[in-house]
Structure 1
Amino acid sequence: MNRREFLIRSSMITTGALMPRKIVKLFQESPFRPVRGDVGYFLGRGGTIGWLSNTDALVAVDSQYPQSAQAFISGMKERNTRTMDYLINTHHHGDHTGGNKEFLGYADHILAHENVPGLQKAAAENRGPETVANQAYADETYTGKWSNDMGSEKVHCMNYGPGHTGGDTVVYFEKANVAHMGDLVFNRVYPFIDRNGKADIANWIKVLRTTADELESDTIYLFGHGNPEFGVQGSKEDLIRKSDYLEALFAYTQKSVNEGRSLEEMSEIRQLKSFEEFNLEGWSLSLASNIQAAYLEITEGTVK
């Protein structure tokens, strides 16, 4: 292990100091993980970074936070001397876009769904002037679908409507047959359902099932976050499992509303039946927060 890789690994361990032991273990291994073909992923602080690296193209998917973005860029420069063609943001959240600024001058373009820059700006303004000053926004956007030949690989970006947020992108590397789902999949843990960011649980279920239907049966999927027991790399079955959870969440909440139960009463359950593995000790997001989001969507509708 060279000194630079040692420092990268050490920084990853430090950022995980307050995490559960199983999660910390992820950061004790090499942060760069090859998956298939020229595609892999990087574990740091924040949502999983995906990457494509070949002799004719270099692409990153999401940027985490400044420190881990710097670690990613430093490590990638040792692997590929090209200027990066694209940084793609799967959505606007800070743990996926907070490192965007570090890519300026390294990536030729930042690409995202057309709703992302506005959502990102609004979220930054809610956090204050310092956060606003540290933003870098997409200079290229798309509406429904975007495709580009990147060396020997073809990269597709697809938006199927609101889900986790109002600007989610599925990034598909066609030749490698690998798809990065961003935070459309929190693998086997309770997800963040961003009402302020125009989340739509009912459509989120459809997004996951449409993706699973449209891509290949043996597609490898990368996820924004995951239960360490199940990881951030998976298969079609993991997408279906997440959609089944969201469907069960919505059905439970709807039934509770129909029965006249208050939000406080319906939030008392500790876990949904048959989804016990989502209840990860030390995970910051709760079933109660998911129930609240479903309750508001049912009683107030989707945020426009």
Structure 2
Amino acid sequence: MPDRKEELVTEPNLYPGLYIVATPIGNLGDISARALDVLTRVAAVACEDTRVTGKLLHHAGIRQKLVRYDDHADPAVRERLLAMAETEAVALVSDAGTPLISDPGYRLVREARKRGIEVVSIPGPSALIVALTLSGLPTDRFLFGGFLPAKDKARRDILAELGAVRATLIFYETAPRLLDSLAALEATLPGREVAVARELTKKFEECRTGQVAELEAHFTAHPPKGEIVVMIAPPGDARPVDLDVDALLRAELATQKPSQAAARLAKAHGLDRKTLYARALELK
């Protein structure tokens, strides 16, 4: 069989299969020549929003059959795409960035692999990678946590759970919830250096790195718009702070048992769990 990687651009027809195509996160000029070639020649493009993808294809001068698909789509739609991919080339795109990264596609790719359908990834933009490279935070190890939860308790639980991981933490967030997330971060992981990136690759791209109080002041004075990436430095990079252990325990005890509160704070701040538990019992 010919080397597919060498012939994807020059072969008259693409091989049957599912092609995962990354698209721009802002600047339309970031789409690759390979992505355009594939999108031109597939039998159909599965996308989150036909209007968004249609605008991209129109900009590139491509006319293509679009099929709306996301993780909430009727299983019959997924089945139709898989049936097509067995004999034709089918592309999967998200509204922006790399499909499957906090975007639809996992179920489709998993089922395609189960059926022996060829899966090919056409790499390209990803907001979390762009943000990390701009942030100035450590890049040797990082953990992507997807979108932070909307509810405050769930948000703090996630931050406490992952706070001890010795890696830069990366989360997606929405503009209306950014200040709430920064407050939760300061309460759960005080002293960490934090970066907030927004409008990546667009005209008003912004990436600010500093302490939470500095970021809160800026984004209170300048309410953010657009999609946001929040990054948190590893625990070893935290600024030394005097923790108000009693205040932290009281906040946890409002919703947790003493043993749970002690365990969470010990993990998040590197404190002695037994000492925390004894104090939690006194406060309770």
State whether TM-score is above 0.5: no
Question: TM-score if structure 2 supplies the norm length?
Answer: 0.32
User: Which structure's CA Rg is the greater one?
Assistant: 2
Q: Which structure: greater helix fraction? A: 2
Question: Taking CA–CA contacts closer than 8 Å with sequence separation of 6 or more, which of the two structures ends up with the larger relative contact order?
Answer: 2
Question: TM-score if structure 1 supplies the norm length?
Answer: 0.30
